[in-house]
Chains A and B, each alone.
Chain A
Amino acid sequence: MESNIVLKAESLSKWYGNILGISEISLEIAPGVQGLLGPNGAGKSTFLKIATGQLKQNLGKMTLFGEPVYNNHRLFSRVGFCPEYDCYYKDVTGWEFILFLAKLHDYKGKEAADMAASALERVGMRENENKLISAYSLGMRQRLKVAASIVHNPDLLVLDEPLRAVDPLWRVKIIKLIKQFEKEGKTVIVSSHILPEIEAMTNNITLIHQGKIFAHGDIQEVRSLIDKHPHQVSIVCVNPRLLAEKLIRSDYVLNVHFNNNGNNVVIETNNRDSFFDSLLKIILETGLEIEEMTSPDDNLQAVFDYLIGK
């Protein structure tokens, strides 16, 4: 739905001298959590900086909530940005920093203090708020950045590598926080090069590599579109050879191989639906007991590896 689109990029390109940042990126993002995935140097940060008005694109258009982004500072009252790198004064306390940012959004007095307190509470930084930022650990500074991006309760949250250097406990909490934002109806764009992080947050992904979009959509749909790369299904059963014999004749089974211990068969198929239909029939026919069934490549890592040609 056109009116539901929060971010729209049309043929966006940005280069730094002779180095291409992003090239011909066209993308629409609706409310919810959108994962932006790519290796280091793929163009994720460039895209996010253009989306938040930090950089001006060389070609193309970028709109947020239907309005052009660059130099449209009025728009940023609805946008929260958590940058990838450290960027604050080291000689102020966490509280002073977040309060200052709340005031930059026109909040005053007690309201600004309440907004700052709420943001710090959400990232677990209230007990350290009166310490100088220079005394914070890397993880604490990262959490402070997240607090800075949410202090003004934005409608669109753009988080560039938000979990970098954060301890495992707070990784889980921040992921929960992001999902909470989604439930509140906000739009969250999260970038990362760590695949399990994105998988934990959302099924909506955009894969970027070498400045271009390789894939965009639901992770399952993206996976299913990769026809030339067959799906793998690993089955542990009592008689894997019998199962293999029954399946090998099918047109949609491309390859069958066994693991070293012999009770595990891995089948490669280019048609998952037909495969599972056949498997069910074979189980009913033969009475074969299946102990375990998994899809080793049904995850983001495999999707990414396939797309970038590893």
Chain B
Amino acid sequence: MPIREKGYYNWEGELKTSPIKWLPIFVNGIKSVYKKKYSKLLFATCAFPFLIFLVAVYVATKPELKMMTRLVKEIQNDGLLFNTYYTNGFLIFMMVIMGLFAGAELISNDLKFKSFTFYLSRPLSRLDYVKGKFSIVLFYLLAFTLVPGLLLIIAKIIFSGEFSVSLNILLAAIIFPIVISLFLGSLSIMLSSLSSNSRFAMVMIFVVYVMSNGIAQMFHGIFKNTSFLFLSFDSNIRNFGKFVFGTQGEFYTHGFVAGCILVGLTILFFAIIMMRIKRVEV
């Protein structure tokens, strides 16, 4: 009978483990999304609004150029600049597409290929798993919202030659994209967790987003009450933007309420995700 007693069984210390257990999931996921077909095309398309606004910020400091006058007029102050940038329809649409592209397969593929076994049999909690997956889609959403926003601030400082951005605008330019990215990211991950068919998740992300707007506009048109616009994800994002950046506009509803709705929905989506993940039995 071989001797099986090992010295380390008597060791009473604690093994040092990484506090960010989900980091390998994040790194692996970033690379996987980057390697996908059409990823570079999507990234270039998402960067397009930033490039336009970068030129506009430059042109705004050179009135003699008389170019892009309409856009330059809309970004006369910082609040208008960032509100126009962050809530323009094209950017919001591209963020929905990014959430779909980066997020739809994250959990649905694990359901399809029964890969939960490999995650759950590692020293990784289900919450770590969700954090790892969510961080992937959050990374790409912030990469095309928060990062360009900060770059626009830097560009404005460089082109105007002075630090003219107020602290409020700076904070708003950071908080707004984070809230919107959390919302859109949690929506895509939640829909991804509902089915093993990633195409279903992709379609649902798009349909839910578009239909919310359609339903809100329909009720608004019938009842002429702006409160129905709270049903629209798109409208809530725009109104929250107006609230955060201190601007007003057509069909403005309570921006603070819109923000609370977005935060509330984000929490709800996370709760659904955790419920789904905890119920997964392999």
Chain A residues proximal to chain B, CB less than 8 Å: 4, 31, 49, 52-55, 71, 73-77, 79-81, 83, 85-90, 92, 100-101, 103-106, 148, 183, 185
Contacts and interface: CB of A to CB of B under 8 A. Distances in A.
Contacts of A73: 120, 122-125, 128
B113 A88 contact: yes
A88 B112 CA distance: 10
B2 interface: yes
B24 A87 contact: no
B163 interface: no
Given A77-B15, A90-B113, A148-B118, A103 B24 contact: yes
Contacts of B118: 87-88, 101, 148
B123 to A, nearest CB: 4
Nearest to A4: B4
Q: Closest 4 interchain pairs by CB?
A: A103-B24, A87-B114, A81-B121, A77-B123
B115 interface: yes
B122 A55 contact: no
A80 B123 CA distance: 11
15 contacts: A4-B4, A71-B125, A73-B128, A74-B17, A77-B122, A83-B117, A87-B118, A87-B282, A88-B115, A100-B24, A103-B24, A103-B27, A104-B124, A185-B2, A185-B6
Interface residues of B, number: 29
Contacts of B123: 73-77, 104-106
B160 to A, nearest CB: 44
Contacts of A81: 117, 121
B196 interface: no
A105 B4 contact: no
B31 to A, nearest CB: 9
A54 B115 contact: no
B18 A106 contact: yes
B41 to A, nearest CB: 19
Contacts of A148: 118
Contacts of B121: 52-54, 76, 79-81, 83
Nearest to A78: B123
Contacts of A79: 121
A81 B282 CA distance: 13
Nearest to B280: A54
Contacts of B119: 104
Given A76-B124, A83-B121, A106-B123, 5 more contacts: A49-B282, A73-B125, A89-B115, A90-B113, A104-B25
